[in-house]
């Protein structure tokens, strides 16, 4: 289901709300929570972006906001007409054959997903600046206005690349193009059209990937492009990291709760995790100028992609590998000392990653796709022995251990597949989720000033909050 309300849409009837709720519940894979609305300032959405100050983003903005960098969002499509994305989408394409040619139509099982991701990455905010004497939010000074979402890289440009992720409601791609073709075509197009960073809030239950993906990811590696991918969510059925986050050189992002601890639901585990970033109590934009609260590593990944854009803007001389190494090398250690399979190399520290005086190696610490292909696809022995894999972390009782993924194993599939989005990759039967998936989505509206009553957790949407009306804030139990 796609929200298509215009700025002049009337207040929906109760019957319309019930129909929207039933349809929306079928779209999102896991629980969707309702919340009570009450009058609030127009910058209430901005106030919810805790990661901007807590993780050093506002500090990094003193020297860079992602100017001159293109970031491709390979996802369900991006609504470039959202007020927070006005002027942000510099180009796009539909790789599925089923969407709009410019990639700016939501398609597939969760059509809203790409817009949620894009606003977190490069949202620009909107609205008039506060009048003199007003008491604005501390974050109101950033972006193009004090209202709405301001992304980690608010001056970066986006490339919208839509792909069709099928599910029980959307069905298979009506154009007949599978993800074994869509994904590599999307990656190649992004590279050829100037992307210096690619965000992939996509995950699967398989640690392996179709061989058809090899050359596209190698193409990106050789052309100096950073690729960031979501690690996946336990709540979505991903107990271990799946492709594309297991592909060598890809920066895989795990999730943290509001307190900065590894998320029990909005993350997964594996040796390919690079860093951890916020994945709970997030807020993002929906098509039609709406906003939603949501959780998942789908949201953590664009935060890290935004950081990559900040670095590429400030230090254009650095290679993609050095950008990755900066993010990894400046992460704050967490969990077991050193690398572990839950936090990876540590917790994202944006100010440190962008700051001066960071010396990093030239070779990507997360591996090389070229070397992997030589060893595992072509059977050529490595020039030197590979370092041993980090020991699995056993000191994190809050998150049960998961099988350690080995990207070189033969293609296979999970024996228990959650009934979400099942795809076949040229004989490889995997579960491909939109991002590590949106497993919590709270949507608000502002048409009514009277508070709404709390309703039980039924998996239904409330009517969303519009960007062009006074904002309201939702009240409910935060997930932690």
Query: How far apart, in whole angstroms, are the C-alpha atoms of residue 269 and residue 254?
Result: 8
Name the CA radius of gyration of the chain, rounded: 21
Closest of 44, 38, 29, 112 to residue 76, by C-alpha = 112
Q: Is 368 a catalytic residue?
A: no
Query: How far apart, in whole angstroms, are the C-alpha atoms of residue 115 and residue 82?
Result: 8
Which position has the token pair 């069905």? 171
Give the 3-state secondary structure of residue 215: helix
Pick the catalytic residue from 75, 79, 147, 180: 75
Pick the catalytic residue from 24, 84, 94, 113: 113
Query: How far apart, in whole angstroms, are the C-alpha atoms of residue 361 and residue 468?
Result: 47
Helix axes 297-314, 113-122, angle to 10 degrees: 40
Give the 3-state secondary structure of residue 161: strand
222 sits in which H/E element: helix 214-222
- Cross-strand pairs, 38: 473
Q: Is 79 a catalytic residue?
A: no
Closest of 113, 404, 374 to residue 272, by C-alpha = 404
* β-strands 422-425, 465-466 pairing: unpaired
Closest of 190, 164, 165, 5 to residue 90, by C-alpha = 190
Give phi and psi for 222, each to the nearest 5. Answer: -70, -20
297 sits in which H/E element: helix 297-314
State both tokens at 133: 């004497």
Q: Is 5 a catalytic residue?
A: no
Pick the catalytic residue from 298, 305, 345, 349: 298
Nearby residues of 366 by Cβ (< 8 Å), 6 or more positions away: 248, 249, 250, 251, 252, 272, 274, 324, 328
Which position has the token pair 């790789």? 95
Asked if residue 63 lies in contact with residue 167, where contact means CB atoms within 8 angstroms, the answer is: no
Q: What is the DSSP letter of 374?
A: I
Asked if residue 152 lies in contact with residue 306, where contact means CB atoms within 8 angstroms, the answer is: yes
Q: Which residues are catalytic?
A: 75, 113, 298
């Amino acid at each position: 289901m796609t929200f298509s309300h215009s700025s002049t849409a009337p207040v929906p009837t109760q019957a319309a709300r019930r129909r929207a709720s039933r349809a929306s519940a079928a779209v999102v894979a896991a629980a969707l929570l309702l919340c009570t609305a009450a009058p609030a300032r127009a910058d209430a959405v901005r106030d919810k972006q805790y990661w901007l100050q807590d993780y050093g983003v506002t500090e990094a903005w003193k020297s860079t906001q992602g100017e001159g960098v293109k970031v491709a969002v390979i996802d369900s499509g991006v609504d470039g007409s959202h007020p927070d994305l006005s002027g942000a989408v510099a180009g796009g394409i539909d790789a599925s054959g089923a969407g709009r040619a410019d990639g700016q139509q939501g398609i597939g099982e969760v059509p809203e997903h790409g817009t949620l991701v894009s606003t977190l990455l490069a949202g620009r905010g909107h609205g008039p600046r506060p009048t003199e004497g007003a008491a604005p939010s501390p974050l109101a000074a950033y972006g193009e206005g004090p209202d709405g979402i301001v992304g980690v890289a608010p001056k970066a440009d986006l490339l919208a690349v839509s792909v069709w992720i099928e599910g029980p409601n959307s069905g298979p791609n009506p154009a007949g193009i599978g993800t074994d073709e869509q994904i590599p075509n999307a990656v190649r197009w992004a590279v050829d059209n100037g992307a210096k960073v690619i965000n992939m809030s996509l995950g699967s239950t398989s640690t392996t990937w179709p061989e058809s993906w090899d050359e596209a990811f190698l193409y990106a590696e050789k052309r100096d492009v950073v690729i960031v991918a979501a690690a996946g969510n336990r709540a979505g059925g991903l107990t271990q990291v799946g492709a594309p986050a297991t592909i060598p050189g890809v920066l895989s992002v795990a999730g943290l709760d509001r307190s900065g601890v590894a998320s029990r639901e909005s993350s997964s585990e594996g040796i390919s995790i690079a860093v951890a970033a916020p994945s709970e109590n997030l807020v993002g934009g929906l098509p039609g100028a709406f906003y939603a609260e949501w959780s998942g590593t789908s949201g953590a990944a664009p935060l890290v992609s935004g950081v990559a854009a900040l670095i590429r803007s400030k230090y254009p001389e650095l290679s993609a590998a050095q950008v990755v190494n900066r993010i990894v090398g400046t992460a704050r250690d967490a969990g077991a000392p050193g690398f572990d399979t839950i936090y990876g190399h540590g917790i994202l520290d944006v100010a440190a990653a962008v700051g001066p005086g960071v010396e990093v190696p030239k070779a990507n610490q997360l591996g090389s796709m070229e070397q992997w292909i030589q060893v595992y696809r072509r059977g050529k022995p490595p020039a030197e022995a590979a370092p041993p894999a980090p020991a699995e972390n056993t000191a994190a009782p809050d998150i049960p251990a998961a099988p350690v993924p080995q990207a070189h194993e033969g293609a296979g599939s999970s024996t228990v597949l959650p009934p979400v989005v099942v795809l076949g990759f040229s004989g490889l039967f995997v579960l491909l989720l939109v991002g590590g998936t949106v497993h919590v989505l709270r949507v608000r509206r502002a048409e009514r000033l009277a508070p709404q009553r709390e309703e039980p957790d039924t998996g239904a949407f409330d009517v969303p909050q519009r960007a062009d009306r006074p904002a309201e804030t939702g009240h409910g139990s935060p997930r932690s």
